[in-house]
Amino acid sequence: MSEFLQFLFSGVTVGAVYALVALGFTIIYNASDVVNFAQGEFVMLGGMITWFAHAAGLPLPLAALIAIVATAALGVAINKLAIEPARGAPVVSLIIITIGASVFLQGAAQLVFDKQIHSFPAFSGDRPLRIGGATIQPQSLWVIGGALVVFAGLWLFFTRTLLGRAVLATSNNRLAAQLVGINTNFVMTLSFALSAGIGALAGVLATPITLTAYNVGIGFALKGFAGAMLGGMGNPKGALAGGFLIGLIEALTAGYLSSTYKEAAAFVVILLVLFFMPQGLFGRKSTERV
């Protein structure tokens, strides 16, 4: 039993990171119908920039803040320089652009930082807490709390603020939103900044546990996408639940089946969802206007 609890804790911890990535996917997907394959690189950048700034002597909170702001700025730059100029391009072109951005950021991280694996100290020490015969790192609570706070913040933003409603309006119908005076370009900028910032936050919170390196992004992207899809593409609640579920499935696979092939769990989930319920747990069946 305590073994199961242990797997549960580690599953919820990584699941929280996947949920944050899935939320990032969802924000951009809703605002623009673009699936941003560079989403995982934001997580990598959050971790790497924080490590770099911290190693250079800055206090950890400041380093983390710099990482989040810098990554958000990069997200905006990707939107302005690579995605906006290609508006109206076929899906395949947009996929190639965002994958290109992902590969580019990986290449840049190798050059600016290095190819080593890095970490920085956990926020509240390393003394594990004992719960029901299992242990949990204090950092795990930071990650899980972070995911829940971000979700609550997004929910408040999208339902209670005018700006949040403008984003929702844009995702429903871009042209109609423009007609009622919403600056849809600003909405896009905001979505990319938010999404990149959330990704970077995930990297900051997770790095003391999962470690970071220039090439960790693609794995986060794949699992975050699996989470978003499992929950139902474009549904924030679904993204949260899907992310946590993917984390749990992965941890249980590692615990009971094979730790070598835990990475395969996300892929198997993707295939099963596509086979049996392409609309996901919370999603609606999609129809396309011609």
Partner 1 sequence: MPKLSAKSATLLVLAALIAVTPFFFPSGYYYRVGALIFVNGLAVTGIVILTGYAGQISLGHAGFAGIGGYACALAPTHLGLHPSLAVVLGAAISAVLAWLVGRPILRLKGYYLAVATLGFGILVAMVLNNERALTGGPDGIAVPDLGLRGLLKDWGLELTNGQFWYFFCGLVLLAGAWIALNLHQSPTGRALRALHGSEIAARTVGVDVARLKLQAFVISAVYASVAGSLVALQNKFITPDVAGFMHSIEMVTMAVLGGAGSVLGAIFGAGVLTLLPQALTVLAEYEQLVLGLVMMLVMIFLRDGLLPSILRKLRGTGE
Q: How far apart are CA 85 and CA 82, in angstroms?
A: 6
Residue closer to partner 1 (CB basis): 83 or 187? 83
Q: Binders of partner 1: how many residues, by CB under 8 A?
A: 46
Could you give the string, one character per residue 17-56, with x where binding to partner 1 holds by CB under 8 A and - elsewhere?
------------------x-x-------------------
Least Å from the CB of residue 287 to partner 1: 11
3-state secondary structure of 262: helix
Nearer to partner 1, 256 or 267 (CB): 267
What φ, ψ does residue 118 adopt, rounded to 5°? -130, 165
Least Cα distance to 249 among 227, 228, 271, 221 occurs for: 227
DSSP letter assigned to residue 161:
S
**Segment near partner 1 (CB under 8 A), from 156-164, 195-203, 220-228, 240-248?**
220-228
Q: Taking the mean position of all CA atoms in its chain, how far away is CA 25?
A: 6
**What's the sign of the alpha-carbon dihedral 211, 215, 217, 221?**
negative
- Closest distance of CB 202 from partner 1, Å: 19
Q: How open is the CA angle 253-216-234, to the nearest 5 degrees? A: 75
Q: Which is nearer to partner 1, 52 or 225 (CB)?
A: 225
| Residues of this chain, 228-257, that bind partner 1 according to CB under 8 A | 229
Task: Identify the CA nearest to 270 among candidates 240, 249, 252.
Answer: 249
Q: Is 270 in the site for partner 1 (CB under 8 A)?
A: yes
Residue 234's alpha-carbon distances to 28, 69, 86, 174, 283, in angstroms, are 9, 25, 22, 16, 8
Question: What sign results for the dihedral spanned by CA atoms 31, 238, 49, 219?
Answer: negative
Give 63 or 222: the residue with its C-beta nearer to partner 1. Answer: 222
Pick the piece of the chain touching partner 1 (CB under 8 A) from 137-145, 165-173, 240-248, 261-269.
261-269
What part of residues 81-140 is at the interface with partner 1 (CB under 8 A)? 82, 85-86, 89-97, 99-108, 110-111
Closest distance of CB 130 from partner 1, Å: 34
Stretch of 2-10, 49-57, 141-149, 217-225 lying at the interface with partner 1 (CB under 8 A): 217-225
Shortest separation between residue 128's beta carbon and partner 1, angstroms: 29
Nearest approach, Cβ of residue 106 and partner 1 (Å): 5
Residue linked to tokens 């994958």: 99
- Quick one: 161 or 286, whose CB is closer to partner 1? 286
162 is an interface residue for partner 1 by CB under 8 A: no
CB burial class (10 A; 0-12, 13-18, 19+) of residue 290?
A: exposed
Stretch that binds partner 1, among 46-54, 118-126, 203-211, 263-271 (CB under 8 A): 263-271
* Segments in the chain forming alpha helices (H): 2-32, 39-55, 60-78, 91-112, 138-160, 162-172, 174-179, 184-210, 217-231, 236-252, 262-276
Rule CB under 8 A: which residues touch partner 1? 35, 37, 82, 85-86, 89-97, 99-108, 110-111, 218-219, 222, 225-226, 229, 260-261, 263-264, 266-267, 270-271, 274-275, 278, 286, 288, 290
